[in-house]
Structure 1
Amino acid sequence: MANTASKTRPKFLHLTEIRLPLPGIVSILHRVSGAGLFLCLPLLLWLFAASLGSPESFESFSAVVGHPLAKIFLLGLMWAYLHHFCAGIRFLLLDMHKGLELATARKSSVAVLAVSLTLTVILGVKLW
């Protein structure tokens, strides 16, 4: 008879206690921002068409975009685009085997977050 007590059982992972490194957080945010941009694409296309269609459709565009909640939502989409763009450049460089060392990967992930947030603040203040 086999000894079942000596078998190692899988551990229960507490997902709230797992500390992900910063490059992992940037990677997850890259995926989330890409999914968010994809899911909001019909709305963005409608807003773009409304802004270019006619003077009446531009008025409806202005009414939608002028609401403070819409501005906050569009600011979030702007961050998603800028983060996805900056992280995409980082991942392209990683695919070319540049910046694979641990210290460089951490610095580039900090740079992605800093650049995307800074550009979001600058463009958000300019467009608000």
Structure 2
Amino acid sequence: MADVNRGNRPLSPHLQIYRPQLTSITSILTRISGNALLLGALLAVWWFLAAASGPEHFAIADGFITSWFGDLIMLGSTWALWYHALAGVRHLIWDTGRGFELQTAETLGWAVIIGSVVMTIFTLIVV
């Protein structure tokens, strides 16, 4: 068995040693945006159910969704939708076996981040 001195080094990487790369951050954001989309979808379903339930229920749901907090949630959901879609395209590119070079992976990561912000602004202007 190899003589390894395990007492003088950490058991796993941490922020003093390991600096997250863009690809790892975008991967984590893809998972977070997917979960955020679920919450935004539940909010939209609540709004539709309230509309079908009657004017009192709809007034409550519509009041929440059209408030500043509801607008903030919808803005975040719009960004999450674009981010998650563009990250999915990036993963489709990776599924073909291309784009794994470090520079290409970083370029795709920045394209997903910048593209999602641009498409969110475009959506807000058009809608």
**Residue type at the aligned position of 2:33:** S
Paired residues for 1:1-128 under 5 Å: 7-9=5-7, 10-11=9-10, 13-15=13-15, 18-50=18-50, 53=52, 56=55, 62-127=62-127
TM-score of the pair, normalised by structure 1: 0.76
Indicate the SS of the match to 1:108: helix
Distance 1:63 1:39 in 2: 18
TM-score by length of 2: 0.77
Letter in structure 2 aligned against 1:8 = R
Offset of 1:108 from its aligned partner?
A: 0.6
Unaligned 5+ runs, structure 2: none
The change in CA–CA distance for 1:38 and 1:65 in structure 2 (over 3 A counts) is closer
Aligned residues: 122
Which structure 1 segments of 5+ residues have no match?
none
1:15/1:44 CA distance change after superposition, 3 Å: farther
Quickly say closer, same or farther: Cα 1:48–1:104, change in 2 above 3 A: farther
Measured after TM superposition, the shift of residue 49 of structure 1 is 4.2
Identity %: 31
CA distance in 2: counterparts of 1:15 and 1:35, whole angstroms: 25
